[in-house]
Amino acid sequence: SPVIWWVRRDLRLTDNSVLDRAAKSGRPVIPVFVLDEVFESHGAAPKWRLGLGVEHLAERLAGIGSRLILRRGTAQVVLEGLAAETGAGAVWWTRAYDPASIERDEGVKSALTGRGIDAGSVPGHILVEPWTVETKQGGYYKVFTPYWRAVKDRDVPAPFDAPTELRPPARWPDSDRIEDWGMGTAMDRGAAVVRPWLNLGEEAAQARLAAFSGDRIDGYETQRNHPGVEGTSGLSENLTYGEISVRACWHAGLRAQEDGKAGAATWLKELVWRDFAYHLMFHTPHLLTENWRREWDTFPWNEDEQLPEVTAWKRGRTGIPFVDAAMRELFVTGRMHNRARMIAASYLTKNLMSHWRIGSRWFEDTLVDWDPASNALGWQWASGSGPDAAPYFRVFNPVTQLDKFDKDRAYVTRFLAELSDDPPAPALAFYDAIPRSWRMSPDDPYPEHPVVDPKEGRDRAIAAYGNRDF
């Protein structure tokens, strides 16, 4: 009987354990993507990007004589129906770790198992399963460095090749057409602008990994902090949708390290930060929605998303060039440099004293590399409410940070039209991406004063923290 490969955030043929197992079973394989309750709830940019990734995978599958069947609805209902329709005896998928997916997957598993179908998951999205890393006391890790020490020497299976063919079923079930799903509807505003910046699909991801790990990784340690240069891998978008496996990245990093590439050790650590975010999300799922440190519940956050300074933050009009360039980069490219994410998040949560959830929701709607665990951990790190977070008194100074990390102003010039007489294309592209209702023009003068002065904002935040017990 056929095997259903339930495709989710594993949009690749190479080093895909589920697909490998299905291909090697010798049984007909039916790859299925379900636009289900979890994916329907995604923000505009992630949903749009997911749709493009799914389309791309369908082309890849066609290249090996297979197909991607598309269905929409509640995962459990769709998969039960499809299994009955095709006579499938097995439904396999790559494991997910966020609470919504876990709940969905448990429901699917018990419903299918109840019908005598072999249903279950295989690891593949992260390096190390969250429950296999324990402190001496038997708990989970809350601090990165000891977590890193605990996992850095783990054996990570070497990546393997894609199957060259997949046995088709005797009859293919019907498929929806992805165009009819409108996965990019909410992305109308910026799709055309963001599209050229994407690195879509597994071949592009592999090429990027090869280029990075063969060369640029050497200078990663220092270059990664400068948003004006291409110092990082840019692979987060692909890792998010599983267009490349993190195991492939890990092994490429190890090889670079053996070749004496100086930055490789730091890059491997960053890959483990991603795993650490999953470790924490799995053990403390409230990381996604609540202050991870509960004592922060009484902090006087602004939770009003409509405040003018929050609007200015979203639109890159705070009057702080580093923050504004970051927010424009996000709108134009669907991504944001890590240093810029830290600065933009620190300014919103500390200088503006707005709740990190406001920022995390905005990122969730606009990032093409949106990842529930890394995004929540990043925000809670910046605001101080998270595990292993920046201490409350460490408020980034966005002015001195600019002098340090964008000395020649390459980054702010690239993304802020108001700062130059002859703005470059990325800075101008912002105005093609934004809704008309924002009424912004490249000829607007740059704000004379910041919405909140960094020093005053810092003092206000520290005073508010200072009145508390933590």
Tokens standing for residue 73: 């609805």
Q: Which of residues 333-352 bind ligand FAD (CB under 6 A)?
A: 338, 341-342, 345
Nearer to ligand FAD, 120 or 159 (CB): 159
Do the beta carbons of residue 3 and residue 169 sit within 8 Å? no
Tokens standing for residue 57: 């995978």
Nearer to ligand FAD, 20 or 237 (CB): 237
Tokens standing for residue 444: 């607007």
CA dihedral 86, 88, 92, 93 (to 10 degrees): 10
- Residue 82 in marked binding region: no
- Residue 267 in marked binding region: yes
Task: Out of 273, 283, 284, 464, name the contact with ligand FAD by CB under 6 A.
Answer: 273
Least Å distance between CB 41 and ligand FAD?
15
- Residue 241 in marked binding region: no
- Residue 377 in marked binding region: no
Do the beta carbons of residue 209 and residue 233 sit within 8 Å? yes
Residue nearest to ligand FAD (CB): 378
Nearer to ligand FAD, 10 or 369 (CB): 369
Task: Out of 245, 375, 401, 413, name the contact with ligand FAD by CB under 6 A.
Answer: 375
Cα distance between the two ends of the chain: 60
x-marked contacts with ligand FAD along 179-218 as a string, rule CB under 6 A: ----------------------------------------
Instruction: Give, in order, the Cα–Cα distances in Å from 430 to each of 20, 37, 41, 102, 322.
Output: 42, 32, 26, 37, 16
Residues with Cβ within 8 Å of residue 180, at least 6 apart in sequence: none
Nearer to ligand FAD, 335 or 458 (CB): 335
Nearer to ligand FAD, 5 or 241 (CB): 241
Give the distance, in angstroms, between the CA of residue 157 and the centroid of all CA atoms in the same chain.
Answer: 23
- Contacts with ligand FAD: how many residues (CB under 6 A)? 27
327 contacts ligand FAD (rule: CB under 6 A): no
Residues with Cβ within 8 Å of residue 415, at least 6 apart in sequence: 316, 324, 325, 326, 328, 329, 332, 426, 427, 430
Least Å distance between CB 359 and ligand FAD?
7
Q: Which of residues 420-449 bind ligand FAD (CB under 6 A)?
A: none
279 contacts ligand FAD (rule: CB under 6 A): no
Task: Out of 367, 390, 452, 461, name the contact with ligand FAD by CB under 6 A.
Answer: 367
What are the respective helix, strand and coil percentages of the chain, to the nearest 5? 55, 5, 40
144 contacts ligand FAD (rule: CB under 6 A): no
User: Counting beta carbons within 10 angstroms of the beta carbon of residue 470, is it exposed (0 to 12), middle (13 to 18) or buried (19 or more)?
Assistant: exposed
- Residue 176 in marked binding region: no
- Residue 118 in marked binding region: no
Within 13 Å and on the Cβ side, how many CA atoms surround 98? 18
Beta sheet of 90-94, edge-to-edge order: 69-72, 29-35, 3-7, 90-94, 118-122
224 contacts ligand FAD (rule: CB under 6 A): yes
x-marked contacts with ligand FAD along 253-272 as a string, rule CB under 6 A: -----------------xx-
Least Å distance between CB 336 and ligand FAD?
7
Task: Out of 199, 232, 245, 413, name the contact with ligand FAD by CB under 6 A.
Answer: 232
User: Counting beta carbons within 10 angstroms of the beta carbon of residue 355, is it exposed (0 to 12), middle (13 to 18) or buried (19 or more)?
Assistant: buried
Separation of alpha carbons 60 and 51, rounded Å:
14
Task: Out of 324, 369, 406, 418, name the contact with ligand FAD by CB under 6 A.
Answer: 369
46 contacts ligand FAD (rule: CB under 6 A): no
- Residue 235 in marked binding region: yes
User: Counting beta carbons within 10 angstroms of the beta carbon of residue 463, is it exposed (0 to 12), middle (13 to 18) or buried (19 or more)?
Assistant: exposed
Q: Per the annotation, where are the binding residues for FAD?
A: 220, 232-236, 267, 369-371
Q: Per the annotation, where are the binding residues?
A: 220, 232-236, 267, 369-371
Residues near ligand FAD, by CB under 6 A: 224, 232-236, 239-240, 270-271, 273-274, 277, 338, 341-342, 345, 363, 367, 369-371, 374-375, 378-379, 382
